[in-house]
Amino acid sequence: MKPNAKIGVINVSDRASQGIYEDIPGKVCVALLEEWLVTPFTVEYAVVPDEADQIQSTLVRFSDEENCSLIVTTGGTGPAERDITPEATEAVCHKMLPGFGEAMRNASLKFVPTAILSRQTAGIRGSSLIVNLPGKPKAIRENLEAVFPAIPYCVDLIGGAYLETNEAVMKAFRPKQKPSS
């Protein structure tokens, strides 16, 4: 039996974790997932500072203990000294998916030339797909929209939950046949 759909959302932000900023990016992610997915899902949620150990332990917990099929992070992907979400992601992933970062930067490049400063990546840990998103709400939608059509099939391939989208607003793509290897 396929596991129940559980999705992790981690807002990585020094200021949101201290309550200085309202935690908007994480809420934007949940709203987008609710808009696009018709499969019922539960959300694991965390707001953590830009500290490698806290990002990594939350990713590991959401993957290994909570069995999240998809974990999205927001923030911490820029060039500034405190921005370490991609490194923390890579540290806990068993394999990396460079195509996600490429696709998200290409999507953002349609709007701002500073899209190349984003170091967002994605990778697999066990049966969890981890995807880094930016911290700005508008950019979160632009980026997740660019890669979401591939996410349900990716989650299939790693043994996660079967995710179905509302095709009127987000068309997921599943190839008719599995690759031959």
Q: What are the residues binding a second copy (CB under 8 A)?
A: 11-16, 21, 24-25, 50, 74-76, 78-81, 83-84, 86-87, 95-103, 105-106, 109, 112-119, 124, 129, 134-136, 147, 149-150, 153-154, 157-159, 173-175, 179-181
Least distance (Å) between residue 99 CB and a second copy: 3
Nearest CB to a second copy, comparing residues 61 and 78: 78
Compute φ and ψ for 177, nearest 5 degrees: -125, 150
Cα–Cα distances (Å) from 166 to 37, 39, 76, 162, 163, in that order, read 6, 9, 30, 14, 10
Nearest CB to a second copy, comparing residues 40 and 95: 95
Nearest CB to a second copy, comparing residues 19 and 179: 179
Distance of alpha carbon 55 from alpha carbon 53, whole angstroms: 6
Nearest CB to a second copy, comparing residues 43 and 117: 117
Residue 155 neighbours by CB distance under 10 Å:
23
Least distance (Å) between residue 39 CB and a second copy: 18
Least distance (Å) between residue 68 CB and a second copy: 16
CB 11 within 8 A of CB 74: yes
Least distance (Å) between residue 58 CB and a second copy: 15
CB 136 within 8 A of CB 11: no
CA atoms lying within 13 Å on the CB side of residue 124 = 14
Nearest CB to a second copy, comparing residues 8 and 135: 135
Least distance (Å) between residue 104 CB and a second copy: 9
Nearest CB to a second copy, comparing residues 42 and 68: 68
**DSSP-based helix, strand, coil % in the chain, nearest 5:** 45, 20, 40
Distance of alpha carbon 70 from alpha carbon 152, whole angstroms: 9
Least distance (Å) between residue 16 CB and a second copy: 7
